[in-house]
Structure 1
Amino acid sequence: MTALITFLGRAARNRSRTCGFINIACLAMLSASLAWASDMPQNYGHSLPLTGAASQGVLQVRLPREVYLYSRSPDLADLRVFDMHGAAMPFSVRSAVPEQRSTHRTVPCKLFALMDDAGAADAAPDLDVHTGDDGRLLSVHVRSTSTAAHAAAQQLTGLILEPSSQSGQAAPLIDALRFTPPPGTHAYNAQIWLETSDDLKQWDVVGATELNWLVNQDAQSLSNDKLTFDGRRFRYARLRWQSGKPLMFARIDAEEEISSPSARQLETILLDPKGGRQGQDVVYETPIAIGANQLGLKFSEKNIVLPVVLGHYRELPPRQLGQASVWRFEPALNAVFYHIQQGQHERDSGDVRLADVHTSEWVLRPAASNGVHPQLRLSWEPATLVFLASGSPPYTLAIDRDHATTTATDIDRVAPGFSVEELRNLPQLTAGPARLQQGIRAAEEHAVKDAASAARRRLWLLWGLLLLGMLVLSWMVWRLLKQDQQPTNAPDNASTHNAGNAKP
């Protein structure tokens, strides 16, 4: 029992010494890691100066193609914004959002006069409506029990409007009416209300305006001839006068609002072909940061039709120790690309749409061996970087660093409270040409070599400590075993000696 306690005590003291050596090694590793983790402009391979009015608090810049060509991360983790003193600025990267562009088209309206008694303008008229098979209005009258002589004395009290539309298509989305007075009208003023309906029975009030014209002796005019309202679809409209004399306008045109996505601003790159790992495969080395959403082929041949399978290689571990790795082709899409010269026209297959694919290489596998090696065309939509200009201009984009951790944050931490429209209209900076940081490659290679050398030294040190511990432990066990044998043998020898000296 005493020997066991002694053994444990010595082992504990030995473990304390070993832990001390390990702590020293860990501190050395931590110091090397902190030195490698410095985040300064000179740590990045390329920089791009930002130019433009930098007097506002929040600025934006559309990322140029060089950022995607030189970045070493699919999510732009090595992207930074520095001020003139090398201080990093908080920023957010926003994906491109398709903008809606609104235009207007003039839609003529067919007019139907509502004739009634002079005092009946405020009452809802009882309409006698005649329509065609397609629902188009043929005639509209106010039902009246008046005599013919009395009917001849009736006055204009309102107008029914029917915007023209294509048969079988939905009613146009209208957000304004424009009025043209009859010829010879030099002055006019009236307040009108606009109601809309789809069946000439239920009417909704959607807007009102004050119409006025004033023409002087020199034929100069001052007018308010437009009624605007929230865009809506309707088949019929009714005008009611709240003040002023009803007027049979020369024409009334509706304005149809047409929304269409604005043209996307794409960046494009052409990649040269290289030999693949299998058969007739063609490989295209691709910058990993490019999230391609369009892909096409550019042929040097005039007339070519090329069915292909596009995909990637995947490295599989060897089945047995000592064997080489196996590369398996994984298809992503099948397509037929072509370029044909027909008469005076060229027919081209165009590009295939993708879903923002990031990869370090594309592999093209033709359906048949024909020796054709086209260029690969990739297109992507660059993102926009929004940053808080809390430093001293001018500002610089930095890119191109291995093992970087992203510092991009959410837009609410860069521009809190900004609406989508405000973010879209932020002051725009422009990125200049990319500049290579002199000596950055050599410094990185030297740092990598130093880190590898330090790692090897730490490994040998740990192995040495382990071997030393094993030797010390073996020596301690040997000493303990030797001590255990001595007390056991001494009493046996004494007993034998006493037995030899005993008298019979």
Structure 2
Amino acid sequence: MKTMMPIGLCGAVLLFAGAAGAAPAASDTPGDYANAIQLKVRKGDAVVQLKLPKEVYLQSRSAALDDVRIFDGSGKSLPFALIQPAQQRRVSVERFPVKVFPVPVDDKAAGVQNDIEVKVSADGAITSVTTREGAGGRRRQLGAGTLVLDIGKGNGDEGKLINALVFNLPDGLDNYSAQVQLEVSEDLQSWETVSYAHLSRLRNSNLDTLQTNRMEFEARKVRYARISLRQGKPVQFTSIVAESPASDDVAPALDSVTLAPHAGLIPNELVYDANVAIPVRRMRFEFAEENIVMPALIGVHVKRPVDNQLAFGARRQATFYKINQNGEQRTANEITFDDVHVQQWAVRPQEQITARPQMTLLWEPSSLVFMASGAPPYTLHFGRAKATPGQRDIAQVAPGFSAKELQTLEQAVPGNYRHTPVVVGVDEAEGGARLRIIALWSVLLLGVGVLGFMAWRLLSQMKNNPGD
């Protein structure tokens, strides 16, 4: 039992020293972060968003942006979440006139729209619309009551979608009112009713005009159409225009930074200092020289476990060039990545070159969604080593908000960027120094106690063995 006492004393020394040397709980105040941007937020909106400024990615100390915070005017940290902007789609409308064929009308007959003869060419385009002869060989007279429309072959099975027709009324018509019916067909034999519309124009003595001349319906592919007059008087339209909705994905807006190279580990190696917070989506090289080809390895420097020395680790291989040929410039100076985070890039050209191209990194910034509670002004802070993550799940910041609502939140407007070197607080410094002094004295006193105990044990053994 006595032999265990030195071991117990040594263990106590180590535990006490470790506890005494531990740093106090880290604070989380605006002064703990080296960078700040004040935000302008419209009053009344509880949840707002901010597209993270470029400075955040250039100065943050964390690949996951763990050192990003939002503080209110009193220095209170506000809850926030980081989200990726949704893919944007651009919606446009293509308009084109359609071919209009009036159907012959007999003033003494009704329902003649089914008693017509439509001639088409080999490719399906309508060439003429006539009526079959009635009794006695009398041919019906042309009128504007019913119209057959040739939308166009390109708008069939493999064509565009149509979702509206615009009826342009003649200029001299001041007052007009009618109801029309739209039917569609793919073969001029069977017809499907799609929509009805009320067309009108009202013009006063001051030439102020109120007009309704659109027929809207669910977007669909249309080859042929038939317009029938349900109410009102027939009129000769100036033109009928079809509208086709079109949409395409909008390329995300990317931020960028351009870096200058410096010498690497070996001759001909180029090193570019970036920042680990940048999620690189695209990398581009800007050549000042004309007519240059640069096959190269793109990578990073990593420490080897065996000797802790830096070594080159290749990530990509590509050939970049800028060539003028026949008065045209041919370039291949860009590669893509899957949002990789690298503090420093290394480029090793596979041939000896004198060119020192600049590197441009491009990335898609995240959106920061936060609760604008507390007293303004609100300030974005970032730039702190070993910070604990501050972001939350979006459901904890904007509960019940749909994805569409999140994308349309009011945008906070960033102000000027400012950098302030972080100074350790006086209380934190004094507390740390006090704990270190206590730890040193504790180790010293306990060490003396251990030595005294060992001396006492040695003397006891000598007394018990006087003959030795």
- With normalisation by structure 2, the TM-score equals 0.82
Pick from 192, 196, 201 the counterpart of residue 208 of structure 1: 196
Equivalent position of 2:271 in the other structure: 283
Would the alpha carbon gap of residues 235 and 454 (structure 1) be closer, same or farther in structure 2, given more than 3 Å must change? farther
The 3-state SS of whatever aligns with 1:433 is strand
Deviation per residue, 1:382-417 (Å, 9 max, x gap)? 222111101110011100011112221222322223
**1: CA distance, partners of 2:3 / 2:301:** 53
Deviation per residue, 1:132-172 (Å, 9 max, x gap)? 33333334456x57325564268655322222465999322
Is 2:347 aligned against 1:364?
yes
**2: CA distance, partners of 1:186 / 1:161:** 25
Equivalent position of 1:489 in the other structure: none
Equivalent position of 1:103 in the other structure: 92
Equivalent position of 1:178 in the other structure: 166
Task: In structure 2, give the amino acid aligned to 1:79.
Answer: V
Is 2:106 aligned against 1:125?
no
Unpaired stretches in structure 1, ≥5 consecutive residues: 1-8, 319-323, 484-504
Equivalent position of 1:258 in the other structure: 246
Is 2:187 aligned against 1:187?
no
Indicate conservation of the 8 Å contact 1:121/1:241, yes or no.
no
Indicate conservation of the 8 Å contact 1:187/1:213, yes or no.
yes
Once the 2 structures are TM-superposed, how far is the Cα of residue 43 of structure 1 from its aligned partner?
0.7
Pick from 55, 58, 63 the counterpart of residue 66 of structure 1: 55
Once the 2 structures are TM-superposed, how far is the Cα of residue 479 of structure 1 from its aligned partner?
8.6
Once the 2 structures are TM-superposed, how far is the Cα of residue 58 of structure 1 from its aligned partner?
1.4
Once the 2 structures are TM-superposed, how far is the Cα of residue 107 of structure 1 from its aligned partner?
1.1
Equivalent position of 1:384 in the other structure: 367
Task: In structure 1, give the amino acid aligned to 2:58.
Answer: L
Indicate conservation of the 8 Å contact 2:117/2:129, yes or no.
yes
Deviation per residue, 1:343-373 (Å, 9 max, x gap)? 8765543432332121111111112012322
Task: In structure 2, give the amino acid aligned to 1:394.
Answer: P
Would the alpha carbon gap of residues 167 and 187 (structure 1) be closer, same or farther in structure 2, given more than 3 Å must change? closer
Equivalent position of 1:414 in the other structure: 397
The 3-state SS of whatever aligns with 2:87 is coil
Is 2:322 aligned against 1:333?
no
Deviation per residue, 1:287-338 (Å, 9 max, x gap)? 11111212111223233222222122232211xxxxx334443322232323
Would the alpha carbon gap of residues 463 and 372 (structure 1) be closer, same or farther in structure 2, given more than 3 Å must change? farther
Task: In structure 2, give the amino acid aligned to 1:379.
Answer: L
**1: CA distance, partners of 2:143 / 2:283:** 68
Once the 2 structures are TM-superposed, how far is the Cα of residue 264 of structure 1 from its aligned partner?
3.6
**2: CA distance, partners of 1:121 / 1:73:** 79
Equivalent position of 1:496 in the other structure: none
- With normalisation by structure 1, the TM-score equals 0.77
Is 2:222 aligned against 1:234?
yes
Q: Percent identity over the alignment? A: 32
Is 2:20 aligned against 1:39?
no
Is 2:388 aligned against 1:395?
no
Is 2:232 aligned against 1:244?
yes
Would the alpha carbon gap of residues 146 and 44 (structure 1) be closer, same or farther in structure 2, given more than 3 Å must change? same
Would the alpha carbon gap of residues 36 and 197 (structure 1) be closer, same or farther in structure 2, given more than 3 Å must change? farther
**2: CA distance, partners of 1:77 / 1:202:** 65
Indicate conservation of the 8 Å contact 1:176/1:255, yes or no.
yes
Equivalent position of 1:312 in the other structure: 300
Is 2:184 aligned against 1:196?
yes
Once the 2 structures are TM-superposed, how far is the Cα of residue 119 of structure 1 from its aligned partner?
9.5
Unpaired stretches in structure 2, ≥5 consecutive residues: none
Comparing 213-222 with 248-257, which one deviates more in the overlay? Answer: 213-222
Would the alpha carbon gap of residues 361 and 180 (structure 1) be closer, same or farther in structure 2, given more than 3 Å must change? same
Comparing 34-43 with 117-126, which one deviates more in the overlay? Answer: 117-126
Indicate conservation of the 8 Å contact 1:107/1:163, yes or no.
no
Once the 2 structures are TM-superposed, how far is the Cα of residue 110 of structure 1 from its aligned partner?
1.1
Would the alpha carbon gap of residues 281 and 129 (structure 1) be closer, same or farther in structure 2, given more than 3 Å must change? same
Deviation per residue, 1:249-285 (Å, 9 max, x gap)? 2210012222233454322211121222244221111
Q: If each structure's helix is expressed as a fraction of its own residues, which one has the higher value?
A: 1
5 Å-filtered alignment, 1:435-454, equals 435-437=418-420, 440-441=421-422, 443=424
**1: CA distance, partners of 2:297 / 2:437:** 45
Task: In structure 2, give the amino acid aligned to 1:385.
Answer: L
Would the alpha carbon gap of residues 463 and 157 (structure 1) be closer, same or farther in structure 2, given more than 3 Å must change? farther
**1: CA distance, partners of 2:210 / 2:382:** 59
The 3-state SS of whatever aligns with 1:78 is coil
Indicate conservation of the 8 Å contact 1:121/1:158, yes or no.
no
Would the alpha carbon gap of residues 256 and 463 (structure 1) be closer, same or farther in structure 2, given more than 3 Å must change? farther
The alignment's C-alpha RMSD in Å is 4.2
Indicate conservation of the 8 Å contact 1:118/1:155, yes or no.
no
**1: CA distance, partners of 2:434 / 2:323:** 58
Is 2:81 aligned against 1:92?
yes
Once the 2 structures are TM-superposed, how far is the Cα of residue 226 of structure 1 from its aligned partner?
1.1
**2: CA distance, partners of 1:340 / 1:424:** 42
Deviation per residue, 1:179-217 (Å, 9 max, x gap)? 012454332211223233434455444432211123445
Task: In structure 2, give the amino acid aligned to 1:147.
Answer: A
Comparing 302-311 with 390-399, which one deviates more in the overlay? Answer: 302-311
Matched length: 462
The 3-state SS of whatever aligns with 1:422 is helix
